[in-house]
Chains A and B, each alone.
Chain A
Amino acid sequence: MIRRIIDFIIILLFVWVCMILGLWIIDRVIVPMNLAGVTNNLLSAIFKVGISAFLVLIWLWIWREIVKRSFWHAIKKQQDY
């Protein structure tokens, strides 16, 4: 029972830390970025939103992969026993 809880704690903590880190990167790195060759403010904003959205998609993908691999690893381990 404890091992199952630890599995979920690890996944949830990892996902939460990634979310906080992602928000920090958006705030400190992406928003203050000066895009070389882009002088139009609207274009610059669209570009930054696009990068942020891409980061979110990567976050969701990492989350999905961790769960998928963890699930099939647990199933395989159970079969081996």
Chain B
Amino acid sequence: MLNETLIFASGFAVTLSSMPFVIRTMRKKGIGGIDVHKKDKPFVPEMGGIAVLAGTAVSVVTAILLFPESTNAALSFLACVFIAGLVGAVDDFKNLNAKAKPFLTLFASLPILIMHTYNPRGVVFPFIGQTRMTIVYPFLIPLAIAVTSNATNMMDPFNGTMSGSCTLITIFLLLSAVILGRSSALLLCLCLLGPLLVFFYYNKYPSKIFSGDVGSLSIGAALGAISVIGGLEVVALVAFAPQIMNAFYGLSSIGRLYERRDVSRPVMMLEDGRLMATKDPKAPITLARMILARGPLYEREAALLFLVVSAISGFLALATAYLIVVTT
């Protein structure tokens, strides 16, 4: 228990101490965005994901020192997260197009494939049990990492929604790892949870920093890597339901990959500061738009609703983990 606490605490402490520095530096350099859902449209510094990456790196190193048998799993996880973070950093500075980003995040899976830190037999399903997907599964891993990282990247319409929902997913994956006895997944969740909690504290409404693509792509890739390395694929699929819903409906209503700036806005702000779903049939049906369909809400309320939806999916993910135990 002490070792696990040290892993969590090391990542938490490093992100907590580096985040104020990242905020000050990014503000000074003018690296940030406009918080469009506020009446006064404040400037908010970006690339808070750098502090998350720093904390995750330290917690992974701590995990390797305390649990040397997990070295391969931990290193492949860290390499995956850093590659996705690098793609995100390039996008933050250069604005990659809608097809380039998902394509480049496929490469984040290479460390997992090269170091062979996945279950070679494939996925464990409820009822079905352990499948034998030895040929197909390695081809699905790059897709899994690209989908989770890009779905997370698309899931940041309000302050704190991405960081909060990913924190909840990590907690529920950690609990599922305990139910299913997956020690690798448990360790990797602890490595990610500390930095995520700190980031959520700074990113929740009203945000003091945004993640940038460096943060959202790397956090999404981290969750994808945990589900592959830790054998929690089906559980993660259920926990990721809001992100999948958001990405899938957005893509299917537009009919192609898109960047936010290229399509009609799904949400608009009213005079009193409340947010409302637009009625434009050309706008993507995102989760934010669905949440606001019944009427306008203040951003804080909409963000809270996002977290409630994530929590519901999390509980269903736990139920899925329990089903795997009792039916296989």
Interface on A for B, CB 8 Å cutoff? 1, 3-5, 7-9, 12-13, 15-16, 19-20, 23-24, 26-28, 31, 60, 63-64, 67-68, 70-71, 74-75, 77-79
Contact = CB atoms under 8 A, between A and B. Distances in A.
Contact of B294 (A28, A31, A68, A78): A78
Interface stretch (B155-163, B209-217, B301-309): B301-309
A12 B127 contact: no
Majority secondary structure of chain B interface residues (helix, strand, loop or mixed): helix
A58 to B, nearest CB: 15
Contact of B309 (A8, A19, A60, A71): A8
A74 B294 contact: yes
Interface of B: 125-128, 238, 241, 245, 248-249, 252-253, 277, 279, 285, 289-291, 293-295, 301, 305, 308-309, 312-313, 316, 319-320, 323
Contacts of A15: 241
Contact of A4 (B249, B279, B294, B313): B294
Contact of A71 (B290, B305, B313): B290
Report, nearest first, the 3 A-B pairs whose CB atoms are least far apart: A74-B293, A27-B127, A27-B128
Contact of B295 (A8, A71, A78): A78
A64 B252 contact: yes
Contacts of B294: 3-4, 7, 74, 77-78
B182 to A, nearest CB: 20
Contact of B293 (A31, A60, A71): A71
A75 B128 contact: no
Contact of A8 (B125, B128, B301, B312): B312
A4 B307 CA distance: 13
Given A8-B309, A20-B323, A27-B128, 17 more contacts: A3-B294, A4-B291, A4-B294, A7-B294, A16-B319, A20-B127, A23-B125, A27-B125, A63-B248, A64-B248, A64-B249, A67-B285, A67-B290, A68-B249, A74-B294, A75-B277, A78-B294
A23 B277 contact: no
Most B CB contacts (10 A, CB to CB) among A5, A8, A74 go to A8
Contacts of A78: 293-295
12 contacts: A1-B305, A4-B305, A8-B309, A15-B241, A16-B241, A23-B128, A60-B248, A68-B249, A71-B289, A75-B293, A78-B293, A79-B279
Contacts, number: 74
B125 A5 contact: no
Contacts of A13: 316
Contacts of A1: 301, 305
Nearest to A4: B294
A51 B231 CA distance: 25
B277 A26 contact: no
A71 B126 CA distance: 31
B127 A23 contact: yes
A67 B128 contact: no
Most B CB contacts (10 A, CB to CB) among A28, A60, A78 go to A78
Contacts of A24: 127
Contacts of B279: 75, 79
Nearest to B290: A71
Contacts of B277: 75
A63 to B, nearest CB: 8
Contacts of B252: 64
